[in-house]
Structure 1
Amino acid sequence: MHPLTSGDPAHIGPHRLLARLGAGGMGEVYLARTPQGRLAALKVVKEDLARDQEFRSRFAREVRTAQMVEGPFTPDVVDADPHADLPWMATEYVPGPTLTKAVKGNGPFPEASLRVLTIGLARALQAVHAAGLMHRDLKPDNVLLSPRGPQVIDFGIARAVEGTVLTKTGQAFGTPSYTSPEQVMGQETSPASDVFSLAGVVVYAATGRPPFGSGKAAEVLPRVVGQEPNLDGVPEPLRPLLARCLAKDPTERPTSDEIVRVLSADPLPSAEHGWLPAQVNQSINAHQHEAHQVVQASPSGPLQNTTTPLNQPPGGSRKGRRRTGLIAAGAGAAALLLAAGIGLAAVAPWENGEGDEGTAAPGSDSGEPDEADGEADPESLGDQDDMAADWDGETGFDGFVSDVVFTPDGSGIYVRATSAMTLWDWESGEFQHRLNPTPTSFDLADDGTMVATYADTAVILDTDLETVELFDVAEELDDIIDYRGASISPDGSLVSVVVPHGDDQRTVYVWDREADAIMHALEQDNDVGHTEFSPDGDHLRLRILEGYPRVMLYDVATGEEVLSVIEEEPETSGDLSSNWHASAFSPTEPILAVDRNEGDIALYDYEEGKVILEIEGGRSYSNLAFSADGQTLYSAGMGSTATGHSGGRAWDVATGEELTSGDTLLIDRLAVHPGGEALAAFQRDTLLLLDPETLEVINEIS
């Protein structure tokens, strides 16, 4: 970290620059402070690239897609402006060294640390590939180390450089020592190319050198293409897996899913001692201290201590059950690595790295830790008196937007983002209020009753957002990581929630509120990301994030599986490597629409157990949604489709005829007004309200 120079600007966009973090082939990287008080690593594109219009277009597309990447091993994209004179992107700041600096300063990692590193890198690639990206330049310099696991950076712009200025300088294929043979040969790349690079990074961590040596590109690249990797010094138990990852033929390499599965079968480091060597933990503490000093010395003064862990209920810290991975010693990090998709808080620079949990939740009475026994406080969860006091409604949607949901009466729209969950009047654009703190998931019944999940509980909130019930399975399980994936039946009588536990197990609980009893405990071997009740409440849909089948449907009355979709991993290639497997219920018929593979959508009559319509696509879609009358199916998508246009599409459900042509604004986080008055979609930091017929903007909130 270096002081700003006289030639550096004071601000970029709304963010104040605090220090220089470094520079690279793409441009300068700064430590910045957002208007909300978060620290960010802000990368500004070099002037020669900024003049390249092709690069600008590609950069804008990749930034939008990168904002869809979510997971504990990829820093959040908190803001970006690809249309600025010098395009820029800001990601969550991780106060830790790069893997390169850690190895050079402290030597190779021990086997236990290497296992955690490999799992974390594989999980990061899962998140990147699920967003339709490939990294293409995974190397030790692009891996930051933190107590919660490795953090993979630069995934949002790696693909943007293809065909631009950097290609002409021979850099588009990545870093020579870690690039894949197919990249060197100019052949088609795929997620397997990133797996090759992953193995090179792990070999470096194990030995202090790349698997094909270092030197000039002209010396290294022939070895990458024609020689076997040097695995001397790699712990013997890891060699077979890494050798497969470094196979010349991409089809012979394991997937990131397989890497996680294989390595998770063996013991990981003790949570008590963390996953990193002690010297690296000391380096992290030094980075935290340095950032703290920079913040204190900045012209605007110190950061306000207003960070709330993403999955912590209000009322201050909850000692004993807090699961955010804040302790610099890394307690619990190994267990967290096995919990895909878990919401983890960033390590705040003002925390002392010794497990200080004194950060007050916004709106709480003080910054003192809660000395309670870890039970959630029903009163505090529903206390919304001060929820607007620390939110002016004009600061935008800070961080990754996870959900956009209309209220059942159609008057408002909820937006759940990284930093806050807010309610807006969609017609006037006026801010209504904030649910404080932000839940990890939520859902609404037809009468407006809400279920929301936090780290250690699921709560039921009435229409005034007052807590009326708690759901806790702590007596059933001793090793709960967090609650997630909540859904409530339309009549409000049933609640479903996903609870990770044990050795990478997931249980989906279906809770009967009136009987206060668990109807079903649906055990799952794969990671369940979402649950949703059908419009009549008779069926429950599960969306699987990792593993197969990817979409499952259960009969609520019996707990029996009635439908499985995408039973095996599909064959993918090129830019169509992302398989979202989005799905949606029709509001009027027993029909489930599923994106089976690369935009090929099937409509299932789940009562009859058959496909009634197939729609040929051309790419995977991030969301599917039916119109309020069930006659139109909408999709949301970021990139170009097989028909050549970007954005989502719309089809007539009866015939399968496409109703759209050219570009659309059906970008991301698609939602349909219950009365059919509007569609909602997200574009960067702006919520667009669209006319359902013309898809023209009728209002926007940003």
Structure 2
Amino acid sequence: MSSSLTEPPERIGPYRIVAPLGSGGMGHVHLALGTADQPVAVKVVRPEFSYEPEFRERFAREVHRARQVTGGDLPRILDADTIGATPWLATEFVPGPSLQELVRRIGALPEPAVRHLGRSIAQTLSYLHTTGVVHRDLKPGNVLISPTGPKVIDLGISRAMDETPGSDSGEFAGTPGYMAPETAREQDSGPPVDMFALGAVLVFALTGRGPFGDGHPSAVIYRISHQDPDLDGVPPSLRGFLAACLDKDPARRPTAAQALQALGGPVAPAASASAWLPQIAVAVLDGVEHDHRAALRPFLEAPQPPHKSGKARTLALIGAAATALVLIAGAGVWAVTGSLADGEESTEAAEENGAESSDEGDTETGVSGREQCDPSVHLAPEYVEAATPEPTLPSDPASVRFSNDGTVLAVVLKSDVVHLWDWENGVALAAIRLAGTIPFREIEFSPDGCFLAHGAKDGAYVYSLETGEHTVHLEGRDVRSVAFSPDGTTLAMADQTFLDSNGGIYTVDLATGEDVTRFETGSPHGHSVVYSPSGSQLAAQDGKGDVRVWDAATGEELRIAQNLPFPSWRALDFFTDDVLVALHDKGPLVIDVDLEEGGTYYEPDDEPPGDTIKVAINREHDLMYALYMGEEDEDGGAFIGYRVLNIRTAEDVTPEVDDGLGFALLDVHPDGDVIANIPPDNSEVQIRDAVSLEPIEIFE
């Protein structure tokens, strides 16, 4: 999980620590109580940054700037220590969900509530711009919904108007979907970028979606730069104003002051949530407040901090509480949103008013703007809600796959549901029902951990783990297998459609979904496809059994091996960029891509029980796991045997295992130390040591 499980300090400065709330790239965040028992959010800088003079200078500069702009609807900075051994920062605690979270829970907001929302945000932007500061990352996740009105947070990538772009810590700032075209082009980011974001935020509040859709960040940025915003569902009374905010020419957008007047003029803090929000939203806020009180109650009643039980208490507060902490000023002003109660506490106030409770928290960088996702955390609410109480198998497993960071094991069931497990901690995270007809049930994680993909009878499906949306490429085509390029920009697809001669190997640019390239094969039917570790080469097998290797960038054919068998499962894998492993009746075939012809058959010491059906590569330990299938018996079954071979020496290094181990399908953990496998009877999922094959964990 992404949160730190280390025991927090009892105090930070004058603040009494209640519980750890999570960790970010620059520090650990804690819920704390001040000297008057007021709740605050405290962030402590990571030790490795504490010794960097440049970081300390930037931290101090951002704290100073944030203190200068704590007017309007911005959470107050309460205290900070920028010169001590361990820098820290404390801010006002904001007990409310983000706009992102609220809309996910209850859907779009009515026009009167959105007008109030827009007036308050425009008022804050007008204040910021008057003081010489541009926010530069306004988005639904950076607007907290409190009973008195919205609070704009996260000035972490803001800059003064007299600074040149790139003079601060980040040259490219913002969140796709709410990023102005000029920001995407890395041009000057003045006040108009905030007005573009305001328009996008209000469209999201009115419709439940951004004006430029979701998907891969590059695809969203392309639509922002080249397509008109989608304003379907926006009331006619606001359509013209929002279209002006979203104008691609920054000179034609209204100023914050003009926007404020267009929406109805200055607005005072609301007397209560019901004064500006619909009742279902009020219920959500009431539930959040109830959970906050439940988490704080033991500490308010105790003269000294209650004993913390380490990992169990931390996990309860992080996992069940769904807390999100959002940076406000570069190095660290933030506010807290979401529920903080222990998993056994309930949001009764919200449920009594008809609102559903939610375990998801807001995020620091937005749904589609991440460079890297945590597939154990960044999950769509519907996926999380569908998870089983613990890692179990409601039906027979069909395949397994580790995420690229190794934290999550995906188990595909024959019922076409993917279960995501935190396999090390024994936690069921999510369940995803796959679309399309999927005969082979093989899935792939994207390198950034944000997406899942699989082939189907009607196309290649790519799912956003965080939004729950999916995109179909080669729609209507029979896609046998897919592979993400190591940089995550491209999806390769093996099209095995037999109704015409248009099948074969295709790649699609995931940024646009339109740049489709076909790689020439000897057969118009594709079977397996895989990228080399660096992504410089692409290999595939066609319907004739021919294996080809191409330069992935130019499409130049580098190597061909003809007339190889191809089984039901994936038939190819790279060991290095220059060494490809394919399958042959005699055993795994190791091909040197740099040689014009030939290859080496790897044969185990004992004669295998049948034909080679699958090979998995362990690059960290130079191992190759070869699976063999014998002839069918009278019951329609077949014996599946395995051998472990050293890929560099061809030595058979199969260990002796006493528990009757058998493989049907397996996957190797990214660090090479464990494997996940399904036995031939499909009764369980096993985690085993990758070298000794001794069992570590079994899920049934």
Q: Same fold (TM over 0.5)?
A: no
TM-score (norm 2): 0.39
TM-score (norm 1): 0.39
